[in-house]
């Protein structure tokens, strides 16, 4: 199940809805400008009722320098923990391969604020090689879980370290 917790970006809910249809999964959504933590809380209840194996809460993108937005992520974590003290089981940061070393700064701040368990690296089909994932793994111990090499469903894949290094070389 997907939870459309990016309630601020124009068309974010509709965009996630298109992916939910493509993937043939249910999606929980609210109104624009709704509280993302409350939406995630409700989505957890719905996922539990429907015996969903996974719930993915898609939150708004944010700059790590905006403390109020970072605090909002902690609120989402706290709301999920009300259902399950170990939730969320994964907290993934999506980084753009073209951002270079700024991704390390982002990962540092997000990890400090909410405790990341993994990365998703996108736009590896572009000019960025994504070498910063090595620095993030080395410095912070945060593994890369998935990579995006385009905009189609088949362009998203589990991270394979050997394949990644081979492509970099």
124 shares its domain with 142 = yes
98 shares its domain with 70 = no
Asked if the model's pLDDT at residue 53 lies above 80, the reply is yes
46 shares its domain with 98 = no
Q: If you average pLDDT over residues 5-19, what whole number do you get?
A: 93
Residue 151 DSSP label: S
Has this prediction a pTM greater than 0.85? yes
Q: Which domain holds residue 56?
A: 1-87
4 shares its domain with 83 = yes
CATH of the domain at 126: 3.40.50.300
82 shares its domain with 103 = no
96 shares its domain with 29 = no
Q: How many domains does the chain have?
A: 2
Which tokens belong to 28?
């929980």
Name residue, tokens 């124009």: 10
Q: How confident is the model at residue 166 (pLDDT cuts 50, 70, 90)?
A: confident
**Residues whose CB is less than 8 angstroms from the CB of residue 72 and which lie 6 or more positions away in sequence, other chains included:** 36, 37, 59, 62
Asked if the model's pLDDT at residue 126 lies above 80, the reply is no
Rounded Cα distance between 62 and 101, Å, is 17
Residue 153 DSSP label: G
Element (H, E) at 79: helix 67-81
């Amino acid at each position: 199940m997907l939870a459309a917790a990016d309630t601020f970006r124009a068309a974010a809910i509709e965009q996630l809805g298109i992916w939910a249809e493509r993937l043939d999964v249910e999606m929980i959504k609210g109104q624009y400008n709704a509280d993302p933590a409350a939406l995630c809380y409700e989505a957890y209840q719905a996922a539990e009722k429907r015996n969903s194996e996974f719930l993915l809460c898609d939150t708004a993108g944010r700059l790590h320098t905006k403390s109020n937005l970072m605090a909002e992520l902690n609120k989402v974590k706290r709301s999920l923990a009300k259902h399950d003290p170990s939730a969320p089981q994964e907290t993934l940061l999506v980084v753009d391969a073209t951002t270079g070393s700024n991704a390390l700064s982002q990962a540092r701040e997000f990890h400090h604020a909410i405790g990341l368990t993994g990365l998703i690296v996108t736009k590896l089909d572009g000019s960025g090689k994504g070498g910063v994932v090595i620095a993030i793994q080395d410095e912070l111990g945060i593994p890369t879980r998935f990579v995006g090499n385009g905009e189609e469903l088949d362009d998203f894949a589990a991270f394979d370290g050997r394949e990644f290094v081979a492509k970099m070389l």
